Amino acid sequence: MLGLAATGCASNDLTRLGMPEPITNQAERVLSLWQGSWVAAFAVGILVWGLIAWSIIFHRKRSEQLPPQVRYNLPIEALYTVLPIVVISVLFFFTARDQAILLDTDEPADVNIEVVAFQWAWQFNYLDDKKENGGEVLFSETGIPNPDGTADPSTQTTLVLPEGATVHFDLHSPDVIHSFWVPEFGFKMDVIPGRDNAFQVDVNEGTAGEYVGRCAELCGVDHARMLFNVLVLPQDEYDAWAAEQEQAASQAETEAAETEEQPESGEGSGAEGAGAEGDTDEEGSGFGGSGTEENEE
Positions touching Cu ion (CB under 5 A) are 178, 215, 219, 226
Cβ 145 to Cu ion, closest distance in Å? 10
Enclosing H/E stretch for 154: none
Q: How many DSSP H helices and E strands does the chain contain?
A: 7, 10
Q: 3-state DSSP call for residue 135?
A: coil
Question: Between 119 and 207, whose beta carbon lies closer to Cu ion?
Answer: 119
Question: Between 222 and 277, whose beta carbon lies closer to Cu ion?
Answer: 222
Cβ 241 to Cu ion, closest distance in Å? 26
Cβ 179 to Cu ion, closest distance in Å? 7
Question: Between 31 and 191, whose beta carbon lies closer to Cu ion?
Answer: 191
Question: Between 26 and 179, whose beta carbon lies closer to Cu ion?
Answer: 179
Is the CB of residue 167 less than 8 Å from the CB of residue 200?
A: yes
The DSSP bridge pattern shows strands 137-142 and 121-127 to be: antiparallel
Cβ 190 to Cu ion, closest distance in Å? 10
Is the CB of residue 172 less than 8 Å from the CB of residue 131?
A: no
What's the half-sphere exposure (Cβ side, CA atoms, 13 Å) at 172?
Answer: 18
Give residue 151's identity as a one-letter amino acid code: A
Enclosing H/E stretch for 230: strand 227-233
Cβ 198 to Cu ion, closest distance in Å? 18
Question: Between 23 and 226, whose beta carbon lies closer to Cu ion?
Answer: 226
Is the CB of residue 215 less than 8 Å from the CB of residue 139?
A: no
Is the CB of residue 180 less than 8 Å from the CB of residue 189?
A: yes
Question: Between 29 and 214, whose beta carbon lies closer to Cu ion?
Answer: 214
